[in-house]
Amino acid sequence: MSSVSRSLRGRLLAWLLAGTAVLGTLALLDTWREAQQTANSVSDRVLAGSALAIAERVVVAENGALQVDIPYVALEMLTSAAQDRVFYRVDGPPGTFITGYQSLPALPRREGQSTAFDNATFRGEPIRVATLARSASTGVSSVPFTVTVAETTIARRQLARSILIHSAARLGLMMLGAAAIVWIAVSFSLRPLYRLSGAIGRRNPDDLQPIGEHVPSEVEGLVETVNSFMVRLQSSLDALRHFTGNASHQLRTPLAVVRTQLALAARADRPEVASLSIERADQAVAHIERVLAQLLLMSRLDAESRAARSAMQAVDLGRLAQEVTAEHVPPAAEVGIDLGYDGEDSAIVRGEPLLLTELMKNLLSNAFLYAGKGAEVTVRVVERQGRVVVEVEDDGPGIAPEKRADVMLRFDRGSRREGPGTGLGLPIVQEIAALHGGGVGLETGRNGRGLKVCIEFPRPAADTA
């Protein structure tokens, strides 16, 4: 029992959500990085402004020492609703502490940068530190000093988190909206397929006409393939019905003969009459056997053509023809036919040996049935114009040119209806030849008499010979 796969709509939604989730995760990671940078950038400007405000209040006293009057407005500008704590320290020349939190870490001055920023830890809490390096003038010289301002990072984290949450919410709404759009769009897009399914479901099982529903271009190839398959199936069913009808007709007549002759034998009052009826019944049974053998071979050709192609190999058709001809010399002599071989000793083709043997047997059986007593039958295998040609020629009554196409049809014996044949010999030969890439032709024999059957096979490539 075949498993049922998920719907196309479900697959599209799954791929959309999975792809959006991956891209959304990458986008949120980038948003988190950008949010942190934005929060630091905004807060760093405030820290730098606060440090600059304090640095503006550093002066040189009369004794040459530095003094600072901390403007608390500079510290209040750092306060936030997040209750961040603010720290500062002012240092004079190297090794000189002026005021503030002496244990607060100060950053070393960096070349080309008046204010340095970095993250640190103070009293067990993460802080953001800004250190401003300046100089105070005494009128004669300059005294260097640094102002360090720091604050905890609660507000920064809250700002970054708020930006991330809003971005995630927008992304989630976009995913839901895209899923809804895909669901609606796919539902509308699948309507032609639903109509196609309904049209096929309403069909009668015997209706194999091509599908005429309008479908999207992406499905046209599938519909064309189904239509092609239905045409081939209809053709196969018609051929099967024709074949079955003809086969039943071919078998019904000899079976009726058997029953009639057995009835005559049962009512016969003399042994010789009963013996004659039994002999005729036996001939009818033999004919039935030939028909059944031909039917089975034809059925095998129809069903196993692909397997036969895979089993092909290099075959010496000249040698095979000589062997089959030699086997048929005794039965040919019994019916008064002169059978001989006149061809090349060796001719290689690529084929299936058993089928090629059946081809040769059918050609000879056909000649024996219709050439008539006293006829001469000649088998040839020659190489001509790059192809291997098999010829079976007789000097019997032959077939009129206008009837030759008919005898290639199954169960049609053309002008030879009075013979005991099945009407399958030449069609089987034609199918075996076609299976090997060859063709069958019917020509008039030598001196304008009889029939010559010619089968051409392609020569195998050098690497397969």
Q: What is the mean pLDDT of residues 338-361?
A: 86
Confidence of residue 323 (pLDDT cuts 50, 70, 90): very high
Q: Which among 302, 335, 353 is the end of a domain? A: 302
Q: Convert the pLDDT of each residue in 87-106 to its tens digit.
A: 889 998 887 888 889 899 88
Q: How far is residue 30's CA from residue 120's CA, in Å, rounded to a whole number?
A: 24
Question: Both 286 and 339 in a single domain?
Answer: no
Structure tokens at 264: 């005559």
Q: Which amino acid is at 406?
A: D
Q: Which amino acid is at 451?
A: L
Q: How far is residue 287's CA from residue 422's CA, in Å, rounded to a whole number?
A: 8
Residue 453's nearest CA partner among 389, 403, 376 is: 389
Phi and psi, residue 136, nearest 5°: -105, 135
pLDDT of residue 463: 44
* CB-CB contact of 91 with 154 (8 Å): no
Question: Both 242 and 314 in a single domain?
Answer: no
Tell me, yes or no, whether 154 lies in a domain.
Answer: yes
Structure tokens at 398: 């032959």
Positive or negative, the Cα torsion across 151, 116, 89, 136?
A: negative
pLDDT at 260 over 80: yes
Q: What is the mean pLDDT of residues 398-423?
A: 63
Arithmetic mean of pLDDT over the chain: 79
Tell me, yes or no, whether 389 lies in a domain.
Answer: yes
* CB-CB contact of 364 with 324 (8 Å): yes
Tell me, yes or no, whether 178 lies in a domain.
Answer: no
Tell me, yes or no, whether 2 lies in a domain.
Answer: no
Confidence of residue 229 (pLDDT cuts 50, 70, 90): confident
Q: Which amino acid is at 418?
A: E
* CB-CB contact of 120 with 173 (8 Å): no
| From 27-31, 43-47, 200-204, 248-252, the region with the lowest mean pLDDT | 248-252
Tell me, yes or no, whether 379 lies in a domain.
Answer: yes
Count of residues for the chain? 465
Q: Return the percentage of the chain with pLDDT > 90, whole number.
A: 4
Q: What is the mean pLDDT of residues 190-217?
A: 78
Tell me, yes or no, whether 280 lies in a domain.
Answer: yes
Domain CATH number, residue 287: 1.10.287.130
pLDDT at 417 over 50: no
Q: Which among 302, 324, 344 is the end of a domain? A: 302
Would you give the DSSP letter of residue 215?
-
More confident: 294 or 435: 435
Question: Both 314 and 432 in a single domain?
Answer: yes
Domain CATH number, residue 73: 3.30.450
Tell me, yes or no, whether 196 lies in a domain.
Answer: no
DSSP assignments along 395-459, one per residue: -SS---GGGTTGGGSTT--GGGTTSS--S-HHHHHHHHHHHTT-EEEEEE-GGG-SEEEEEEEEP
Bridge partners (DSSP) listed for residue 125: 122
Question: Both 384 and 325 in a single domain?
Answer: yes
pLDDT at 306 over 70: no
Question: Both 52 and 92 in a single domain?
Answer: yes
Question: Both 265 and 394 in a single domain?
Answer: no
Structure tokens at 66: 């530095």
Domain CATH number, residue 333: 3.30.565.10
Question: Both 326 and 434 in a single domain?
Answer: yes
CA distance readout (Å), 44 to 101, 112, 173 = 20, 18, 33
More confident: 165 or 182: 165
Question: Both 264 and 130 in a single domain?
Answer: no
Q: Is residue 257 within a helix (H) or strand (E), and if so which, with residue range?
A: helix 217-267
Q: Give me the torsion for CA of 454, 455, 461, 465, rounded to 10°.
A: -100
- What is the SS3 assignment for 210? coil
* CB-CB contact of 425 with 301 (8 Å): no
Domain membership of residue 125 as a residue range: 8-161
Bridge partners (DSSP) listed for residue 381: 390
Region of 124 please: left (phi>0), alpha (psi -120 to 50) or beta: left
Q: Give me the torsion for CA of 134, 136, 137, 142, rounded to 10°.
A: -60
Question: Both 362 and 312 in a single domain?
Answer: yes
- What is the SS3 assignment for 130? strand
Question: Both 14 and 151 in a single domain?
Answer: yes
- Give the number of other CB atoms < 10 A from CB of residue 58: 22
pLDDT at 415 over 50: no
Q: Which among 127, 146, 161 is the end of a domain? A: 161
| Domains identified in the chain, total number | 3
Tell me, yes or no, whether 208 lies in a domain.
Answer: no
Question: Both 336 and 414 in a single domain?
Answer: yes
Bridge partners (DSSP) listed for residue 440: 455
pLDDT of residue 216: 75
Question: Both 248 and 137 in a single domain?
Answer: no
Q: How far is residue 252's CA from residue 246's CA, in Å, rounded to a whole number?
A: 10
State the residue for tokens 């007549």: 253
